[in-house]
A and B are shown apart, each in its own frame.
Chain A
Amino acid sequence: MSKKLAGYGAAGLALLLLSLVVSLSIGSVHLPVKQIGAMLLQKIPGLGNSIATVWEPSAEQIIMKVRLPRIVLGMLVGASLAVAGAAFQGVLRNPLADPFTLGVASGSSLGAAVLIFYGLQYSFAGAWTLPLVAFLTGAITLLIVLALSRENGKIPTHGLILAGVVMQSFLGAVVSFLTIMSRDTLNDILFWTMGSLSMRGWTYIAVLLPYLTAGFVYLWSRSRALNLLSLGERQASHMGLNVDRLKWSVLVVATLLTAAAVSVSGVIGFVGLVVPHMIRLITGSDYRIIIPLSALGGAVFMVWSDTAARTLLSPGEIPIGVVTAFIGAPFFAYLLYRSRKQRREGRL
C-alpha cells in the first residue's frame, strides 16, 4: 500500500508542480516558463541569493501578486472539494454523492444571495462579510439536514441523501427567485453561484489552508474505517467500527471543509464528484490512497479549469463552475456508460 501511494503520490506532485509553472506562464502577458521557475526558486530561503534577477519587476508583480495567489487558491479549493467528495462517497457508499449532496452549497448560496440582494456584502466585516455568512449558512444547512434525517439516534443513509436533495431544491429555488428579482444587469448572485477565483489574494489562502489541513488529516486518518465500511455497515460494526460515530464525524468534517471552500470561491461543481472517481478508476478502492490522491487530483483539475476560465475569453472570464462542468459532465457520462457496460458483462 505505502509503495503504491508513494509512486502515485510522487507522480501527482510532479504533475501539480508542472501544472503550476505552466499555468503561471499563461495569461494576457506571456512569461517564459524558465523565468517563472527561477522566480519561484528565488523565493526559497537559502537558495534565493544564488539566482540572478533577469526579469522585469512588472513580471514579478504579475506572478506574485496576481497569478500565483489565484492559482494557489484554486489548488486549495480543488483539493478541499475533491477530498470532501471522496469522503462523502465513502461514508454514504453512493457513487453520486459529492460535497454538495447534503445541501451545503445551496445553504451557502442562499446566505450569499441574500447579502448581495440587499447590497450588504461589505456591511459588518468588510470584505469578509460574504465568506463568513456563506460559511455559516452552509453549516446551518448541514445541521438541518442531519436533524431531518435522524432516526432513533441513527442516520440512515437513504434518509440523509433524500433530506439533502429536498434541502438543495428548496434553497436553490429561493436563490433563483432572488436572482430573478435583483435588477442588476450584471447579476452578482448568478456569478457567485457559478464560482470564481479572481481578485482573491493571499489572505483567502490563509483562511482556507487551516481548514484543508485539519480536514485532510482527519479524513485521511479515517480512511481505514472507510475501507471497512465499504464491506457494508453491519459487517463493519462487527469488525469493531462505530459506524454512526464515523458517519457523523466524517460528514461534519467534510461539510465544514466544503463550506470553507465555497465561502471563498463560490459554488464550483463537479470537482468533488468527478475527481475521486478518476482516482478510483486509476488506483482501486483503497481510501488510504484515494483521499491523498484526490487532494492532488483536485488541485491539478482546478489549476487547468481556472486557466481555461481566465484565458479562453480573455479579457473576459468564464465562471469556473461552467468550465468544471464542461469538462466534468462528459467524463461523468463516460463513467455511466462504462458502469452500464460492466453490468451488462455481468461484473456488477
Chain B
Amino acid sequence: MITIQHVSKYYDDHPALQDLSWHVKAGEWWGIIGPNGSGKSTLLQLLSGVEAPTSGRVELEGRNIRTFGRKELARKIAVLQQEGLPQTNFTVREVLEMGRYPFQNWRGREQRDPGPFLDSIMDKLELRELQHRPVDLLSGGQRQRAALGKVMAQEPSLLLLDEPTTYLDIRYQLQFMNMVASWRKETGITVISVLHDLNLASQFCDKLLLLHENQSAGEGSPAQMLTEENLRDIFRVDTSIVPHPCNGLPQVLLVRQ
C-alpha cells in the first residue's frame, strides 16, 4: 500500500524524522506511538503527501507520492486530525458533501448522485437526525463523527488518523474507534493512526510502529511492542503490563513513583 524508504525530514536544521524505512500492506491497521516531539505528526504529514521529505522517498502503490495530483491523492488518502472540524456553520450534510470534492467536476457535479451514499454514511454514524444542524452547534462527540463522515465520503483506500480521540470522553473514544473498525471490516481500508492512548492502540491496531527521538524504535504486534522495557526506554515511565481479561491483549498500567 505505502512504503517509505530512508526518509528524513528537517525543518531548517532541526531534524523531525531521521532515516525511517517502513512498509504498510493493504488492509493493515497500524498504530504509531511515541512521546511528544518524536516525529509522529511529521510522519503523518509525509504519508499524506502534503509535505515533501528532505531526503528519501514515499511510495503509494509503487509510485512516488509527490507525483500524484492533489485530487487524485485525495481519492486514495483521507486524513482526520485531532481537532476534526473547526467551528463552522455549514451543516453536517454540507460537510459530508465537501468530502466528495475530489470526485466533482468544476461545476460541483458527479457522475452519479452522491445523495444515497451520504445517507448510508449518516445512518452508520448515527448522524441522520443531525444532518441539517450546523457543525458549530454539535457536541464534541457528534462533531468528531461528522468529521469521520466527511472522510468516509472521500472513499479512500488509506485512512490516516492523527490522535482522533484526544478531545473525546471514554464513551465517544470507544464509539469512534468501533466505527472506524466496522468501516474497515466492510471496505478493507488500510488505517494508520497516531494514538496517545496505548490501551486503545493495543486493542484496535494489528501492528505498532514505535518512534523515539525522530527514529524508529521498533515495529511489531502490540504484544511484542508494549513491553515494560520498551515503555521505560521511550517514555521514561514505569509501567506494569497486564493481559486484558476479555481478550488477552496487553494493557498498560502506570506505576506511581
Name which residue of chain B comes closest to A347, CB basis.
B136
Interface size, B (range): 20 to 34
Contact in complex: A285, B89 (CB < 8 Å): yes
By a CB distance below 8 angstroms, the chain B residues around A230 are: 86, 88, 90
By a CB distance below 8 angstroms, the chain A residues around B154 are: 239
Contact in complex: B98, A221 (CB < 8 Å): no
By a CB distance below 8 angstroms, the chain A residues around B89 are: 284-285
Name which residue of chain B comes closest to A231, CB basis.
B86
Interface string of B47-77 (1 = CB under 8 A from A): 0101000000000000000000011011101
Name which residue of chain B comes closest to A225, CB basis.
B101
Contact in complex: A221, B79 (CB < 8 Å): no
Q: How far is the CA of A225 from the CA of B105 in the complex (A)?
A: 12
* B99 at interface by CB-CB < 8 Å: yes
Chain B CB count within 10 A is highest, among A225, A231, A286, for A231
By a CB distance below 8 angstroms, the chain A residues around B90 are: 227, 230, 284-286
* B27 at interface by CB-CB < 8 Å: no
By a CB distance below 8 angstroms, the chain A residues around B79 are: 235, 238
Q: Among residues 83 to 111 in chain A, which have CB atoms less than 8 Å away from a CB atom of chain B? A: none
Known: A231-B88, A238-B50, A239-B99. A224 touches B74 (CB 8 A): no
Q: Among residues 1 to 48 in chain A, which have CB atoms less than 8 Å away from a CB atom of chain B? A: 1
Contact in complex: A228, B81 (CB < 8 Å): no
By a CB distance below 8 angstroms, the chain B residues around A238 are: 48, 50, 74, 77-79
Contact in complex: B85, A231 (CB < 8 Å): yes
Contact in complex: B70, A237 (CB < 8 Å): yes
* A232 at interface by CB-CB < 8 Å: yes
Number of A-B contacts (CB under 8 A): 62
Q: Among residues 218 to 265 in chain A, which have CB atoms less than 8 Å away from a CB atom of chain B? A: 221, 224-225, 227-228, 230-232, 234-235, 237-242
Choose from A221, A237, A285 the contact partner of B88 (Cβ within 8 Å). A285
By a CB distance below 8 angstroms, the chain A residues around B78 are: 238
By a CB distance below 8 angstroms, the chain B residues around A231 are: 85-86, 88, 95, 98
* A348 at interface by CB-CB < 8 Å: yes
By a CB distance below 8 angstroms, the chain B residues around A225 are: 101
User: What is the distance, in angstroms, from B152's C-beta to the closest C-beta of chain A?
Assistant: 13
Q: How far is the CA of A320 from the CA of B27 in the complex (A)?
A: 64
* B87 at interface by CB-CB < 8 Å: yes
Known: A230-B88, A285-B90. A239 touches B74 (CB 8 A): yes
By a CB distance below 8 angstroms, the chain B residues around A286 are: 90, 94
Contact in complex: B101, A348 (CB < 8 Å): no
Name which residue of chain A comes closest to B73, CB basis.
A240
By a CB distance below 8 angstroms, the chain B residues around A284 are: 89-90
Contact in complex: B104, A224 (CB < 8 Å): yes
Q: How far is the CA of A234 from the CA of B49 in the complex (A)?
A: 11
Choose from B102, B106, B108, B136 the contact partner of A239 (Cβ within 8 Å). B102
Q: How far is the CA of A347 from the CA of B136 in the complex (A)?
A: 8
Q: Among residues 138 to 159 in chain B, which have CB atoms less than 8 Å away from a CB atom of chain A? A: 150, 154
Interchain Cβ contacts under 8 Å between A and B, 6 examples: A224-B98, A231-B85, A235-B86, A238-B77, A240-B70, A284-B89
Binding site for B on A (CB under 8 A): 1, 221, 224-225, 227-228, 230-232, 234-235, 237-242, 284-286, 288, 347-348
Binding site for A on B (CB under 8 A): 48, 50, 70-71, 73-75, 77-79, 81, 85-90, 94-95, 98-99, 101-102, 104, 106-108, 136, 150, 154
Top 4 nearest A-B pairs (CB, nearest first) are A240-B74, A240-B102, A240-B71, A238-B79
Known interface pairs A231-B86, A286-B90; 18 further A-B residue pairs with C-beta atoms within 8 A, sorted by A's residue number: A1-B94, A224-B104, A225-B101, A227-B94, A228-B101, A231-B85, A231-B98, A234-B81, A237-B50, A238-B74, A238-B79, A239-B74, A239-B150, A240-B102, A241-B101, A285-B89, A285-B90, A286-B94
